[in-house]
């Protein structure tokens, strides 16, 4: 039972991972105030969902509402970034990194009884080895998941440190 329950939160964590990419981009393009309305709307809808679904479905209602709220926030941040700078993810780069992650998972699963420090070392070697095998990271254009080009406004104060080069592009 507990294993299946945690799967919902693993999905939510996966979604939060992508939301963070777009969240930093929202900060860089100065759209925090518009995002506030998305967060508020999501919070209100989720609160109503918790009130409706928790009494009826218990823990499963709460889990589904958590996943729902994370999906809504991810879509809202993506929409805000897309609308402002016309960004679209490079799915080939994401797919190659996902492949490297799957290879790492399989290897770690096979040696799961080792000490955690060995597992961390093996994970790093296998992941970066798989990335190197398929040419991920060989040139600068394949490294970033997010590239913001043609900025109309200067970077937000403190965001200048996110630039990896002096060019006009912001690389994450």
Q: What is the residue whose two structure tokens read 């930093």?
A: 24
What are φ and ψ of residue 63, in 5° steps?
Answer: -65, -45
Torsional sign, CA 142, 145, 151, 155: negative
Please tell me the predicted confidence (pLDDT) of residue 126.
Answer: 92
Q: How confident is the model at residue 97 (pLDDT cuts 50, 70, 90)?
A: confident
Between 142 and 157, where is the model more confident? 157
Q: Is the pLDDT of residue 51 over 90?
A: yes
Please tell me the predicted confidence (pLDDT) of residue 130.
Answer: 86
Mean pLDDT of 133-138: 61
Three-state DSSP state, 30: coil
pLDDT in tens, 21-40: 888 888 889 888 888 998 99
**Residues 96, 69 contacting (CB under 8 angstroms):** no
Distance CA 170, CA 151 (A): 9
Q: Is the pLDDT of residue 159 over 90?
A: no
Mean pLDDT of 88-111: 85
User: Per DSSP, which regions of 48-164 are E strands?
Assistant: 147-148
Calculate the dihedral angle through the C-alpha atoms of 143, 94, 83, 25, rounding to the nearest 10 degrees: -50
Mean pLDDT of 7-19: 78
Adjacent-strand bridge partners of 147: 171
Mean pLDDT of 113-124: 92
Please tell me the predicted confidence (pLDDT) of residue 155.
Answer: 53
pLDDT in tens, 56-76: 999 889 988 988 998 999 999
Q: How confident is the model at residue 161 (pLDDT cuts 50, 70, 90)?
A: very low
pTM for the model: 0.58
Angle, vertex CA 68, rays to CA 84 and CA 71, nearest 5: 30
């Amino acid at each position: 039972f507990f294993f299946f329950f945690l799967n919902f939160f693993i999905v939510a964590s996966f979604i939060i991972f992508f939301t963070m990419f777009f969240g930093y981009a929202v900060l860089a393009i100065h759209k925090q105030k518009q995002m506030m309305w998305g967060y508020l709307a999501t919070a209100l809808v989720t609160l109503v969902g918790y009130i409706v679904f928790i009494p009826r479905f218990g823990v499963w209602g709460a889990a589904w509402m958590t996943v729902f709220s994370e999906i809504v926030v991810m879509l809202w941040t993506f929409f805000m970034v897309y609308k402002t700078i016309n960004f679209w993810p490079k799915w080939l780069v994401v797919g190659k990194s996902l492949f490297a992650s799957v290879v790492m998972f399989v290897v770690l699963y096979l040696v799961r009884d080792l000490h955690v420090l060995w597992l961390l070392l093996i994970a790093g070697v296998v992941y970066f080895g798989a990335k190197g095998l398929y040419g991920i990271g060989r040139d600068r254009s394949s490294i970033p998941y997010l590239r913001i080009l043609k900025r109309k406004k200067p970077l937000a104060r403190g965001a200048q440190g996110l630039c990896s080069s002096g060019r006009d592009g912001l690389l994450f």
